[in-house]
Amino acid sequence: MAGATTLLTSQSLSLGSPTLSDIAPPRQRRKEARPQELLDAALDLFAEKGFAATRSEEVAARAGVAKGTLYLYYPSKEELLKAVIQQRLSSEIAAAAAQAASYPGPTEDLMKEVLADWWIKVFDSPTSAVFKLIITEVRNFPEIAEFYVREVVEPGKQLVGRIVQRGIERGEFRPVDVPTAVLSLILPMIMLCLHKHSIGACAPALNEVDPHAFIRQHVQLVLQGLRR
Amino acid sequence: MAGATTLLTSQSLSLGSPTLSDIAPPRQRRKEARPQELLDAALDLFAEKGFAATRSEEVAARAGVAKGTLYLYYPSKEELLKAVIQQRLSSEIAAAAAQAASYPGPTEDLMKEVLADWWIKVFDSPTSAVFKLIITEVRNFPEIAEFYVREVVEPGKQLVGRIVQRGIERGEFRPVDVPTAVLSLILPMIMLCLHKHSIGACAPALNEVDPHAFIRQHVQLVLQGLRR
Amino acid sequence: MAGATTLLTSQSLSLGSPTLSDIAPPRQRRKEARPQELLDAALDLFAEKGFAATRSEEVAARAGVAKGTLYLYYPSKEELLKAVIQQRLSSEIAAAAAQAASYPGPTEDLMKEVLADWWIKVFDSPTSAVFKLIITEVRNFPEIAEFYVREVVEPGKQLVGRIVQRGIERGEFRPVDVPTAVLSLILPMIMLCLHKHSIGACAPALNEVDPHAFIRQHVQLVLQGLRR
Amino acid sequence: MAGATTLLTSQSLSLGSPTLSDIAPPRQRRKEARPQELLDAALDLFAEKGFAATRSEEVAARAGVAKGTLYLYYPSKEELLKAVIQQRLSSEIAAAAAQAASYPGPTEDLMKEVLADWWIKVFDSPTSAVFKLIITEVRNFPEIAEFYVREVVEPGKQLVGRIVQRGIERGEFRPVDVPTAVLSLILPMIMLCLHKHSIGACAPALNEVDPHAFIRQHVQLVLQGLRR
DNA sequence: AATGAATGAGGCTTCATTCAT
DNA sequence: TATGAATGAAGCCTCATTCAT
């Protein structure tokens, strides 16, 4: 779960299938890019078809390499899954941690800013797919749950919770139950990520609602409920 | 039950999930119950491990029959999946449709009542698992999306949307964007269903928040935001 | 290593490839004969080509079943190997143990009889192949060594050693080193088993010497050397 | 060395195990030694794990070179096997042939000397492993059998056989069957070589008997049986 | 209707071999 | 010459499905 991922540094936000169009020799093309290409391909496919239904050869093919090459970088499909999740979330961690610290203005604005930042960073990037992956695979790989809760859920709840708390303390918000408010704000964001990679990907029916617009309005609506 | 099943393409109903409504001699009780037992076992396992990772023998075993017996009722694992989803959702449909029609009181109360009714009916029942199943499997079986959107999503959005609309028209709610408000209300409910069958099943960390309490407060909070 | 072998009782001495010529339905032919048929096929092939070079499908094919059927009886190729060795040697054990006890005549005759009995039982039967299997595979599966030494080597050395001892005590043999004499008697027998399943099977060059005649004369020769 | 290599069919010598006899500048010492290092590593590993179970990368690693380098010296793993066997046995051949010719003393002493010389040369050297290799691999590579029988077995039997014959003719030995006596003398020696590289390498149980002491006593015992 | 032994296509993984550097 | 990344054929094993009982 750890080893192979230390190689990966730059985290491309490309939407998957790595470009093979560059003029480069087919072999030895760029060894140091391989792991990230494989992780991207794997995230795409695992999120699309599910871990079990994705053949490792498909992952390799989408990354532009042969079946065997995958195993030069990850010792098994399962380790690949863990690496995919870990690598994507590792970048999440600590990202938003600091920013809320010394905000001077109204809490509503702070909240909007923090959530919007996170949303921008996540929804349009492949990271949005990780949430689907986690929802679908945790019960088969409980180690993932532990990691996810510790590294993403808890820090996230803390962050948003502290902002709500600030609002209450400054008299901007009513004295609501903090955890509840946090979930009210965040759950729809996660849900939209899941939607994007499931029903949203086959039935454009619901796409009449623009996700970014919705989240903005949703946050607005909940903040309205918190006000005074 | 038969009438509502025209959706899942031609093959899906080839076997016709057997009706339990016939008056049958008590000694055949067990045989009559088989299909439902198989569907229940399948829903459980599919939601837990995913469709691809669930062996059909496991389903049979959990239903208390032998491997071959499963195939007497459903011609393939895939048909079983479709039957599972369809059968669960068929009962959802039309249920809540009528109740909103002639409610006299304040819209807030109507909304709370409708959502609470639905929530009670869904969250603690196996039906909550269907949402996970849909999220995880639609992209592999697009017929499911079609069925789900038409029979569940659209009616649901309509129902809640009409209530929001009523609130606006009666001057109880601010003139918000209706689809947005609907999603703000509903997405956390779906999300909690998903959570229950994924992270909630392995990491009790988040279970500190009671789902029923949360939903009550969430609805309250959003309604607060809609008010005036 | 244990489980599956308890089913097997009668130990056929057929030279491998089980007769499929009996009129019997292809499926469900004789479930209880399967394990022995698979063990026989496996012993044959493992001794011929080596464990690693034998494909499990070959074993199945020689036993007259399909690839997958093998795995209904043995959970892996490695377990099959262990079962093969264990089952063959289990019959060895305790066989010769008792017979030497109360022999009245000259020690030379006793020795000839005991060795001839064992030789007859082993050399012309598939059991002779087990020795090759052990020689070739112990270093890859050290558990086998333990079992073999404990169950076959030690009892065998004890048995022959006691007879040599008896000869010495009765003044029939010279006071030689007992373990040495034992090995002088036995090693050529093992070696002939190995030969039979290696060079003897491809280059009939050495087959000018009849194994049975040789062993008789070899024992005679060594006993001659022990005399007085 | 080149002269004796006509045996292993056409392909076997395609690369021609490089001669070390050329006078070469010292800085190429390492390069010159490569083939022998590879052969030694291969013999070790093939004898330990079997040909099929040994990865060619392991051989390269043990010889201290990279995977690809192996293929600069031997065109395939199979050719490497043949080269290993051939090179080891080529040195065996003709060695002992001459020494028996003009021995003046008693035949027993001649025999002891010839066998002891051979034993010393073989048992403690890597050559002892070749016997295991031959036993385990002949049936997969029948060319080996041909070569081995012609170049090792037959000359060896001739040599020892002539000595036995000499003993009979000089009235020192009883008129026994010569081939039988030869095998009685030699088979335990081969068996001890096999043992050293199989059970002897994992279960030190049997190592209580010193091989050198045993062989001395074994020869003594058989000669005793031949006497008069 | 129910069983479970049998099948064999298909997926994961290994490793001999190649080849660009 | 030497390397080791890459390949893909081939082997182990699983499991959806069949079918004789």
Element (H, E) at B109: helix B107-123
Phi, psi of C227 (to 5 degrees): -55, 155
pLDDT of residue A13: 25
Query: Which residues, 6+ apart, have CB-to-CB distance to C169 below 8 Å?
Result: none
User: Residue A139: how many CB atoms within 10 A of its CB?
Assistant: 21
Q: Is the confidence at residue C151, as pLDDT, over 80?
A: yes
pLDDT of residue B133: 97
DSSP state letters, D33-90: HHHHHHHHHHHHHHHHH-TTTS-HHHHHHHTTS-HHHHHHH-SSHHHHHHHHHHHHHH
D216 C-beta less than 7 Å away from strand E:
no
Q: Is the confidence at residue B5, as pLDDT, over 50?
A: no
pLDDT of residue A11: 30
Q: Which of C218, C219, C220 to mutate to test the interface with D (most CBs of D within 10 A)?
A: C218
Q: Is the confidence at residue C203, as pLDDT, over 90?
A: no
Report, in angstroms and rounded to the nearest whole number, the Rg of chain B calculated over CA atoms: 20
A55 C-beta less than 7 Å away from strand F:
no
pLDDT band at A22 (very low <50, low <70, confident <90, very high): very low
> Which has the closest alpha carbon to D160: D111, D218, D116, D208?
D111
Average pLDDT over residues B137-149: 93
pLDDT of residue C206: 59
D211-226 helix and C178-196 helix, angle to the nearest 10 degrees? 90
Strand partners, D173: D227
* Least confident among B23-27, B40-44, B213-217, C72-76: B23-27
Contact between chains at A187 and B192 (C-beta distance less than 8 A): yes
Q: Is the confidence at residue D2, as pLDDT, over 60?
A: no
Averaged confidence pLDDT in chain A:
86
Query: Which residues, 6+ apart, have CB-to-CB distance to D53 below 8 Å?
Result: C50, C51, C52, C140
DSSP B4: G
C178-196 helix and C127-137 helix, angle to the nearest 10 degrees? 100
Average pLDDT over residues B13-40: 60
Q: Which residue has the higher pLDDT, C45 or A24?
A: C45
D183: chain C residues, CB-CB within 8 Å: 188, 209, 214, 218
Q: Is the confidence at residue A97, as pLDDT, over 90?
A: no
* Least confident among A10-19, A187-196, B58-67: A10-19
Average pLDDT over residues C159-168: 95
Q: Which residue has the higher pLDDT, D96 or C52?
A: C52
Q: Is the confidence at residue D228, as pLDDT, over 50?
A: yes
Phi, psi of C56 (to 5 degrees): -65, -25
Q: Is the confidence at residue D120, as pLDDT, over 70?
A: yes
Query: Which residues, 6+ apart, have CB-to-CB distance to A158 below 8 Å?
Result: none
Q: What burial letters (b/e) apply to B4-43, b meaning 16+ CB within 10 Å?
A: ebebbeeebbebebeeeeeeeeeeeeeeeebbebbbbbbb
pLDDT of residue A195: 96
pLDDT of residue D191: 98
Q: Which CATH superfamily is domain C3-19+28-83 in?
A: Homeodomain-like (1.10.10.60)
Q: Into which CATH architecture does domain D93-226 fall? A: Orthogonal Bundle (1.10)
pLDDT of residue C18: 39
Q: Which residue has the higher pLDDT, B182 or C7?
A: B182
pLDDT of residue B96: 60
A58 contact B CB<8A? no
pLDDT of residue A95: 62
Residue in the structure block whose two tokens are 């002539």: D162
pLDDT of residue A14: 29
pLDDT of residue D102: 76
* Least confident among A89-98, B205-214, C147-156: A89-98
pLDDT of residue D103: 84
Residues 174-193 in B contacting A (C-alpha not used; CB under 8 Å): 176-177, 179-181, 183-184, 187-188, 190-192
Strand partners, D143: none
Shortest distance between the Cα of D186 and any Cα of chain C, in A, equals 9
Q: Is the confidence at residue C15, as pLDDT, over 90?
A: no
pLDDT band at C93 (very low <50, low <70, confident <90, very high): low
pLDDT of residue B42: 98
* Least confident among A118-122, B98-102, C153-157: B98-102
Chains that touch D (3 or more CB pairs under 8 A): C
Q: Is the confidence at residue D11, as pLDDT, over 60?
A: no
Q: Which CATH superfamily is domain B9-85 in?
A: Homeodomain-like (1.10.10.60)
CA distances from B151 to A196, B137, B140, B155 (A): 20, 17, 19, 6
Average pLDDT over residues D96-122: 86
In chain A, domain spans: 3-84, 93-226
pLDDT of residue B100: 67
Q: Into which CATH architecture does domain A3-84 fall? A: Orthogonal Bundle (1.10)
Average pLDDT over residues B205-213: 82
D218 contact C CB<8A? yes
Q: Which nucleotide is nearest to C30 (CA to C1')?
A: E5
pLDDT of residue A100: 67
Q: Is the confidence at residue D138, as pLDDT, over 80?
A: yes
Q: Is the confidence at residue B8, as pLDDT, over 70?
A: no
DSSP state letters, chain A: --GGGGG--S-----SS----S---STTS-GGGHHHHHHHHHHHHHHHH-TTTS-HHHHHHHTTS-HHHHHHH-SSHHHHHHHHHHHHHHHHTTTTTTTTTT--S-HHHHHHHHHHHHHHHHHTSTHHHHHHHHHHHTTT-HHHHHHHIIIIIHHHHHHHHHHHHHHHHTTSB----HHHHHHHHHHHHHHHHHHHTTHHHH-GGGGGS-HHHHHHHHHHHHHHHHB-
* Least confident among A79-83, C103-107, C130-134, D134-138: C103-107
pLDDT of residue A90: 85
| Contact between residue D185 and residue D115 where contact means Cβ atoms under 8 Å apart | yes
pLDDT of residue D17: 38
Averaged confidence pLDDT in chain B:
86
pLDDT of residue B9: 40
Q: Is the confidence at residue D80, as pLDDT, over 90?
A: yes
pLDDT band at A133 (very low <50, low <70, confident <90, very high): very high
Q: Is the confidence at residue B72, as pLDDT, over 60?
A: yes
Classified by CATH at the fold level, domain D3-85 comes out as: Arc Repressor Mutant, subunit A (1.10.10)
Contact between chains at B198 and A154 (C-beta distance less than 8 A): no
B62 C-beta less than 7 Å away from strand E:
no
Q: Which residue has the higher pLDDT, A93 or D48?
A: D48
Average pLDDT over residues B113-137: 95
pLDDT of residue B106: 95
Q: Which residue has the higher pLDDT, A205 or D73?
A: D73
C&D contacts, CB < 8 Å: 176
Averaged confidence pLDDT in chain C:
85
Amino acid at C186: I
Q: Is the confidence at residue A209, as pLDDT, over 90?
A: no
User: Residue A97: how many CB atoms within 10 A of its CB?
Assistant: 12
pLDDT of residue C30: 67
Chains that touch B (3 or more CB pairs under 8 A): A
Average pLDDT over residues A51-64: 98
